[in-house]
Chains A and B, each alone.
Chain A
Amino acid sequence: MTWKHFFGTAIGRKFTMGATGFFLITFLIVHCAINAMIFFNDGGETFNHWAKFMGTNLILHVLEVGLFVFLLLHIVQGIMVVIKNKAARPVGYAMSRPNRNSTWYSRSMGLLGTLILLFLVVHLYHFWVPSRFGGLGNITPLEETQLFTYSNEEAHNLFQRMQMVFRGNLAPVVIYVLGVISLFWHLLHGFQSAFQTFGLNHKRYTPIIKSAGFVYSLVICLLFASMPIAMYFDWVK
């Protein structure tokens, strides 16, 4: 059995989804923890310090490449899985009651993933692109991104960047909150689903995994959602 064969079956494809999903889940913990440092209310000093560390450390650069590769794998394989699964039922039912046997979000991973992806495009444009290609000290003014119109001010750090993006700007806040809501439902199913995919289903452990998945999804998403909201109302200084 070649690797291509191993990862190419109906189960192998799900191994890719689960493994990359686990990686993304771990990444979100780190990402969320660092961003939460804006709540120290120290003008973003702690946050900027760690954001800079994440952006300049060699090991983390390698990990960042890995993150993009895994995200891309997750997306490409996700699309393949959805296409293959749709093809398995070319003729649908005239009458169907799926809510009697499964949750809507477990059936909507493709849609939720697509919403997350749309959000990610905006998100990378807001923060990752200028921090990589504009340099932290000299971030491209947001007006040049042409996504939204802002006062044309120079941002000197990511904290200021966040303030610039969100303070008093409703549109990006709404987009971020909707993105995070999509992420919540994606994670609520995905977290426990990935364990099942790798063969872990057990009377004692599965309820713990499901509870942990719920707590993880809720905490991560509440924290992420609170950031643009706090910035919008200028609660963090």
Chain B
Amino acid sequence: MEHYHMNLTLKVWRQKDSKAKGNLETYQVKDVSSEMSILEVFDVLNESLINDGKEPIAFDHDCREGICGACSMYINGQPHGPWAKTTTCQLHMRAFKDGDTIVVEPWRSRAFPVIKDLVVDRSAFDRIIQAGGYISVNTGNAVDANSIPVDKRYADAAFDAAACIGCGACVAACKNGSAMLFVGAKVSQLALLPQGEPERETRALNMVAQMDKEGFGSCSNTYACEAECPKGISVAYIAKLNSEYLHAGLNDSDS
């Protein structure tokens, strides 16, 4: 595609700290290359803000190659911007044209409080993982990878679920701020494998309990999450989580 330059208006959410009120600030950025990623535009803008003695815009990022899930930006009304199956760091400026206005906001969710500007605290996801998103194994020599047979179909399905990078776009997209796609992916990934079998039921119950404690909403099955997920995680994993919860809940003997 042809390389071009553009002038843009950025409207960016600025918020001093978690308690401040915050508002959208307008910035003009000139001569933006269509080959830049949107994070690079923020780098350039921040450099000029620093040169002018102003506070740079805080935003989350790490790998910049679409695998860590840190780059949480709600761009022009969509998590990670207009491109499907794309993280913010992989969103290139050829998605925009000269004269465009781009509105950038942080994820909005009770469970993801804003720390500063565009940075939100996503540790709620970590606590959900800590509640059961693991398998317990005794330490010792690594077991041969092929010692436990796994049906290829289940291995593939588990692998698809494991593609979730914990970015939180599903929560940001959902009108209910629901984390069901994330939790569905994490629960399914282990429920589909023999290694996850021993803790299967407690895992589903504990992770759902933690999800509620963090303040995420219910699933209304609008499927906005699947449409916005950069890894294309299927809502079939939400159905899987529902059925894991149903079985585990009915089977549970504690009262």
Question: Does A pair with B?
Answer: yes
- Do B103 and A10 touch (CB < 8 A)? no
| Shortest Cβ gap from B251 to chain A (Å) | 9
Whose C-beta in chain B lies nearest to the C-beta of A2? Answer: B255
- Do B239 and A196 touch (CB < 8 A)? yes
B245: A residues at CB distance < 8 A: 9, 11-12
Q: Does A198 interact with chain B (Cβ within 8 Å)?
A: yes
- Cα of A66 to Cα of B24 in the assembled complex, Å: 52
- Do B175 and A107 touch (CB < 8 A)? yes
- Do A1 and B252 touch (CB < 8 A)? yes
Among A39-47, A94-102, A145-153, A226-234, the stretch that binds chain B is A94-102
Selected from B13, B209, B217, B223, the residue in CB contact (under 8 A) with A84 is: B217
Selected from A1, A6, A11, A107, the residue in CB contact (under 8 A) with B220 is: A107
- Do A93 and B211 touch (CB < 8 A)? no
Q: Does A81 interact with chain B (Cβ within 8 Å)?
A: yes
Q: Interface digits, A1-45 against B, CB 8 Å rule (1 contact, 0 not)?
A: 110001001111111000000000000000000000000000000
- Do A1 and B254 touch (CB < 8 A)? yes
Q: Does A59 interact with chain B (Cβ within 8 Å)?
A: no
- Do B221 and A85 touch (CB < 8 A)? no
| Shortest Cβ gap from A236 to chain B (Å) | 38
Q: Does A116 interact with chain B (Cβ within 8 Å)?
A: no
- Cα of A14 to Cα of B184 in the assembled complex, Å: 15
Whose C-beta in chain A lies nearest to the C-beta of B225? Answer: A101
- Cα of A115 to Cα of B187 in the assembled complex, Å: 37
Known contacts A10-B218, A10-B219, A92-B108; A197/B242 CB under 8 A: yes
| Shortest Cβ gap from B5 to chain A (Å) | 25
Q: Does A106 interact with chain B (Cβ within 8 Å)?
A: yes
Q: Does A201 interact with chain B (Cβ within 8 Å)?
A: yes
Q: Does B158 interact with chain A (Cβ within 8 Å)?
A: no
- Cα of A200 to Cα of B108 in the assembled complex, Å: 30
- Do A109 and B220 touch (CB < 8 A)? yes
- Cα of A189 to Cα of B78 in the assembled complex, Å: 23
Known contacts A10-B178, A109-B220; A196/B252 CB under 8 A: no
Known contacts A88-B177, A100-B77, A196-B239; A10/B105 CB under 8 A: no
Selected from A92, A95, A109, A201, the residue in CB contact (under 8 A) with B239 is: A201
- Do B173 and A196 touch (CB < 8 A)? no
Other CB < 8 Å A-B pairs besides A11-B242, A88-B111, A95-B103, 7 of them?
A1-B249, A11-B246, A89-B109, A101-B78, A201-B235, A201-B238, A202-B236
Q: List 30 A-B contacts (CB under 8 A).
A: A6-B250, A9-B208, A9-B209, A9-B245, A10-B211, A10-B216, A10-B219, A11-B246, A14-B218, A14-B219, A88-B109, A88-B177, A88-B178, A88-B215, A89-B176, A94-B11, A95-B77, A95-B105, A100-B227, A101-B173, A101-B222, A101-B224, A102-B223, A106-B221, A106-B222, A192-B221, A197-B219, A199-B243, A201-B236, A201-B239
